[in-house]
Amino acid sequence: MADERYSSTELMICLASRTMADSATAFIGTGIPMLAASLAQRMHAKNLTPVFEFGGTGAILEKLPLAVGDMRTYNKGLHAAGICTAMEAAQRGFIEYGFLGGAQIDTYGNLNSTVIGEQPSPKVRLPGSGGGNDVGSACWRTIVIMRQSPRTFVSAVDFLTTPGYLDGPGARERAGLPADTGPFRVVTDLCTLDFEEKSKRMRLLALNPGVEPEQAQAATGFELILPEEIGRNAEPSAEELRLLRDEIDKDRLYI
């Protein structure tokens, strides 16, 4: 159910922000992750260390960057490096959270941001991996942010751009990826999801305000695991909305 007091985008930003722990490192992409990181620094995670693909590390996000190479990603930062250094930091295990998006996701958290349809003549060509494969392969916990529908939550991705749990338990390790890494949360306009420990399949964790389990399942192209107890995500607080609207995104670039 829509709430006129806030948009679904504002809700997703707040939910993503709440997943960012204080004193953690987080690989931040363009768009919602930037707003979420900025909100987290102002609300509960003032010691959050954002890492951007082009090398900005530890910036204080006083003004919203327009992209991962914007000069604001270096503002009062700890380190100004380059893309190779940023990716190497993730490969060395120094980055805890990675924020990702995509055009498709499957039950194991595999992401597609490359093509829709079959090669060599797909229906749609998308931007491709960028740093998505590196982030999903090397960061300890990846958090996916995307809108939920049967077109985006699919039984099998058309192209594997970023590995989730691949085809199930042990698959990441067999592929040579670091143990104990992989998808952690999926934040959508309907709910928050995680992944069952044994099967590595997507599980409904908490519903957004006004949403019922049947709606979340109807917007998913595969069967979700439904636990006995399903949580409820809190609405954006007045302070979260004030910060988003009056300080973080005053020009309404994203909200």
Active site residues per annotation: 53
- Determine the Cα angle at 163 with ends 120 and 230, to 5°: 120
Closest residue by Cα to residue 111 from 123, 97, 128: 128
Between CA 153 and CA 134 the distance in angstroms is 22
Bridging pattern class, strands 111-112 and 104-105: antiparallel
Between CA 90 and CA 103 the distance in angstroms is 23
- Concatenated DSSP letters of 74-123: GTT-SEE--HHHHHHHHHTT---EEEE--SEE-TT--EE-SEES-TTS-S
Closest residue by Cα to residue 98 from 157, 11, 2, 28: 28
Taking the alpha carbons of 97, 24, 27, 61 in that order, is the dihedral positive or negative? positive
Bridging pattern class, strands 202-207 and 141-145: unpaired
Between CA 123 and CA 148 the distance in angstroms is 21
Residue 224 carries which DSSP code? P
Between CA 160 and CA 114 the distance in angstroms is 8
Q: Which helix (H) or strand (E) holds 35?
A: helix 32-43
